[in-house]
Structure 1
């Protein structure tokens, strides 16, 4: 097998069924991120609570972000399999409860349960792939996992619309039941793991402080400028409390025997570069997926379906590049792969800067596709470099830290971009195409600057080839 032979973990099964199970579990998270979008109006008509519906997304993102680093550390202690199965079970329970929700507050609470499950499933999929595939093979494996996001970006909104129109919006969540069960059964039958048997403590205090601090920080970023003004007492209180908890977290982690997020993760060159790149990727991807469709509809006058397909090219280009990234980093090294990807992302975002209300929809799709190619050449290789730089018993926390950084980047990006657009466009219905184009243009500028920053950070990646990392 292609797993690490130097650590206490063994696999007796073929990797194909395991990868299929990982792709299926990834599809749970990927579909859930898009399938609900087209059914929001139907859900609100049934349950009410129009002013609260943004929390359907915020609650999910908050819970997912908080659960990610904790799940990663737990997997290094008890093994990947129990954490993944617990994540699938939590997601399954949350999905059933969402389908049975009787009010908007109940649905929001159950979405948070789904998010907790997703916070275990997503990092565990990438971590298990890192365990069972060699450095040379991981790019292709992660390309398969990335392709799930591409397919979900296209299928999710369509399925959500079909369920809402011809069945009931509740099937958006009930459809997860068979997917969860199949994924769990395949994983149980094919993934055989022997976790290290030494007794290790769990940093409960660190976990609680990280959960509290991260929740408040991301909450402040998501809701600042929306539910309350940035300079309001509420905003100051939220960020102040987050700061206090995170400072306490750092102090606790310095003394903990088994820190939930070891501080050395934030000091090693390859890990710092990979984490910062992931943060910037989160900002660019969420900024584009949030505002490219708005630009296409408001400035170009196309329908929501066409606008969705335009930005979906980003998630199509990503897995294509990720699947072939192995050839590049094996020959030229991780730094070259990351630099090529960052340059491609910069070119793609620069193309978006040239767009105005007279642009054609194919121009948006082409620019997004180039950005996707850049992300595939940057995100997967840098994560693989980070995974390869540590042993099995630290790979979970390293992978989860990378995913956590992407969540933070997404939250920061959407907060900043949302504030900028909100100050320029007050109503999409009443705005002229030129006004929409001018209002969203700063988002493209911000994405371009983030992509340029990716080039600078990528230069700090180690120049070693993949085989030299092992």
Structure 2
């Protein structure tokens, strides 16, 4: 395995080993690849209103996010085959090049149509960059450092929440939104050169298939996301329910294909009821949903109901990502007992926070410190819990997967996270609209939407608490203590 010679005494892994010598340069490549995606994701939220004022296309505003996520899912799934065919060096260069092309199109966009093409290319490259980071971990680091490396990657999201909104807000305020994309374009090209110099050129080994792509399953996932996204904005609740039913049907078809076909997006049998991987994937998805539902609507509710400025509302929401980063970084070196405790605690914190928000968020307030401090604490608690558990979830999935399919498992981590992001956005939007966010709208509509969105989504962490018990038992059986 490339990179193990840099490890020194790998039986006693430390953060120092991860960031020293050749390992330090490789860690930097993986971290920056994830950071490019995350910074871009938060930056666009700040500059998109300015871009729409300039080039028009308000009707297709939401498609900037929809197409980005759909393309990211495709990129995530393609990454494993790019890695097997091209090797780490050229796969990273290709992903960064596609991302740079998307940023260039956005920077030059004369209309929303070109902007959407740019966002699609950005999503394709970003999905590959994030998925490659998790896949390359096991190729360039010895196994004892996997959990720490995954904690490092998770921490990049918290850093991005500090850089992305500030970067986007600055360029939006000075009327230079295109400059933000020019900087991303140039930065990604410099990153590509750095990756080529640092990463090994050899093709990946076991678990990196170069065979046919599971196009049928990939298209079923994409279609289920698109159906949910389109119907979540429908005016009638019956249309929302029809879209949800169709999307569930497409996902069931996806699961059927995963079980019966040789080409797959997930390790063999991962969705089987008796599979040890299924509880890990379910907990991963449940924790991601708990975070995403808060991230999607919290800024809006904070502005409408708690009278916070957009910047303040954005950075209050960023406390969740900051907690995620802190939790991931500190939990990367946890003992086996601490890891199991983190896996059990994460959904409990999520459940408690969402139940609290169900009660507190719908109540209009003056926006004083006494009002917003409890909200900030709840956001930070959710993020910290997920961050503490995340590296051990990802590491557990890799260790439960046979070596020949660890490449698929690595790529699937990003695919599942992106898919749950899209599902959370669409389902939360459907609930909010049905509860009255748009009609009657205003403060009353926001109150009703805040209550029902958080109340219904509290079921997710509640179920995750039950799933976590099985995950903890399986984690213990891995021989981790």
TM-score range, shorter chain: 0.7 to 0.9
CA contact (8 A) 2:221 2:250 kept: no
Residue 451 (structure 1) aligned with residue 456 (structure 2)? no
| Partner residue in 1 for 2:221 | 214
Aligned to 1:51: 59
User: Structure 1 263/77 Cα, relative in aligned 2: closer, same or farther at 3 Å?
Assistant: farther
Partner Cα separation in structure 1 for residue 101 and residue 359 of structure 2: 46
Equivalent residues of 2:435, 2:452 under 8 A apart:
no
| 389, 397, 401: which one aligns with 2:400 | 389
Shift, 1:466, TM fit: 9.3
Q: Please give the alpha-carbon distance, in whole angstroms, between the structure 1 residues aligned to 2:317 and 2:351.
A: 16
How far apart are the structure 2 equivalents of 1:197 and 1:139?
21
Q: 2:83 aligns with which of 75, 87, 90?
A: 75
Deviations 1:25-74 (A, max 9, x none): 11110011111112222111111111111111111011112221232354
1:187 Cα deviation (Å)? 1.6
Q: Structure 1 CA distance, aligned partners of 2:209 and 2:169?
A: 48
Contact map agreement 2:259 2:271 (CA 8 A) in 1: no
Unaligned runs of 5+ in 2: 6-20
**1:147–1:319 contact (8 Å) kept in structure 2:** yes
- For the 8 Å contact 2:42–2:161, the answer to whether it is kept is yes
Bigger mean CA offset, 383-392 vs 135-144: 135-144
Deviation at 1:367, TM superposition (A): 0.4
> Aligned with 1:93: secondary structure?
helix
State the 1:124 CA deviation: 1.1
| Paired residue total | 459
**1:284 equivalent among 283, 287, 290:** 290
Separation in 1, partners of 2:440, 2:167: 26
Partner of 1:203: 212
Measure, in 2, the Cα distance between the counterparts of 1:266 and 1:193. 34
CA contact (8 A) 1:270 1:385 kept: no
| Aligned partner (choices 306, 312, 324) of residue 318 of structure 1 | 324
Separation of aligned partners in 1, 2:81 and 2:69: 19
Question: Which residue does 1:352 correspond to in 2?
Answer: 357
Against the structure 1 CA distance between its residues 314 and 76, is the aligned structure 2 distance closer, same or farther, given a 3 Å change threshold?
Answer: same
Are the structure 2 counterparts of residues 120 and 392 from structure 1 closer, same or farther at C-alpha, using a change threshold of 3 Å?
farther
In 1, the alpha carbon distance for the partners of 2:304 and 2:476 equals 46
- How far 1:405 moved relative to its partner? 1.8
In the alignment, what sits opposite 2:314? Answer: 308
Work out which of the residue numbers 268, 274, 277 in structure 2 matches 1:263.
268
Do the aligned residues in 2 keep the contact of 1:314 with 1:368 (CA within 8 Å)?
A: yes
Aligned to 2:127: 119
The counterpart of 2:385, out of the listed 367, 370, 374, is: 374
Q: Which residue of 2 aligns with 1:401?
A: 412
What SS does structure 2 have at the residue aligned with 1:14? helix
Q: CA deviation at 1:252?
A: 8.3
Give how far 1:395 is off.
2.4
Residues 259 and 269 in structure 2, CA contact (< 8 A), matched pair in contact too: no
> Which deviates the most, 291-300 or 445-454?
445-454
- Per-residue CA deviation, residues 327-368 of structure 1 (Å, 9 max, x unaligned), is 44x331754331122222223223323313236111111100
Cα distance, 1:304 vs. partner?
0.6
1:427-438 alignment runs, 5 A limit: 427=438, 431-432=442-443, 435-438=445-448
Q: Is the 8 A contact 2:266 2:408 kept in 1?
A: yes
1:75–1:396 Cα contact (<8 Å) kept: no
3-state DSSP of counterpart to 1:459? helix
Q: Structure 1 stretch 134-143 or stretch 44-53: which is displaced more?
A: 134-143
State the distance in 2 between where 1:96 and 1:454 align: 41
Alpha-carbon distance between aligned partners in 2 of 1:251 and 1:194, rounded to the nearest angstrom: 32
2:189 to 177, 181, 202: 181
| Alignment equivalent of 1:226, drawn from 228, 233, 247 | 233
Q: What are the residue-to-residue correspondences of 1:9-158 with 2, within 5 Å?
A: 14-76=22-84, 78-158=86-166
1:17 positional shift: 0.9
Change (3 A) 1:454 1:247: closer
Residue pair 1:69, 1:400 contacting (<8 A) in 2 also = yes
Pair 1:336–1:135, CA change in 2 (3 A): farther
Query: Contact conserved, 2:284 with 2:390, CA < 8 A, in 1?
Result: yes
How many angstroms does 1:189 deviate by?
A: 1.4
Residues 469, 230 of structure 1: alpha-carbon distance in 2 compared, 3 angstrom cutoff:
farther
Give the SS at the match of 1:266.
coil
- State the partner residue of 2:9: none
Select which of 334, 343, 346 maps to 1:341: 346
- State the 1:200 CA deviation: 6.0
Gaps of 5+ in 1: 6-12
The answer as to 2:336 corresponding to 1:331 is: yes
Matched, 1:441 2:447: no
Q: Does 1:296 align with 2:302?
A: yes
Structure 1: distance between partners of 2:225 and 2:349 = 29
Cα distance in 2 between the residues matched to 1:281 and 1:437: 25
Match of 1:8 in 2: none
